[in-house]
Amino acid sequence: MLKIVKTAALCSLVTLGMCTNAQAAIEDTLANICTIVQADDKGELRKKMKAVQDDYHLKLQDYYTGISCDGNSLIRTAMLSNAVEAGTLLVKKMPKAQLNEPEQDGKTLQAWIAENGLQSNPVAQALVERI
């Protein structure tokens, strides 16, 4: 009985260690995604998203809410940086339902766009078309 308990405890510790290492690896992989979006580098953004999907089996919707670029989401950062190509790619890759959900500050993207007067931004227009 004691051997089973020790084995279970060891397995739990190994699993926990692997999860922590995997999370750190994902964070390292996504470390410069804000810079990529701000630079409007659609090709590099596409490569980064593909690498995360291939290596960690995560889609954009899985890690989008966990990324903050100076307090803004990736799509908001794209609009503020006038990164049309990267922002449009992000809008196309996100599920419609998630585009309508409130973000970290409790505001939806559409409410935030209206509040900041960004309705004429091409990324905002792509968002309206998608929704």
Q: What is the pLDDT of residues 41-89, one digit of tens each?
A: 888 888 888 888 888 888 888 888 888 888 888 888 888 888 888 888 8
Of 1.25.40, 1.10.3470, 3.40.720, 1.10.1040, the CATH number of 32-130 is 1.25.40
- The pTM of this model reads 0.72
Mean local confidence (pLDDT), 82-104: 85
* Structural domain boundaries in the chain: 1-30, 32-130
Rg (CA), the chain: 19
Query: What is the helix (H) or strand (E) element at residue 122, kind and residue range?
Result: helix 122-130
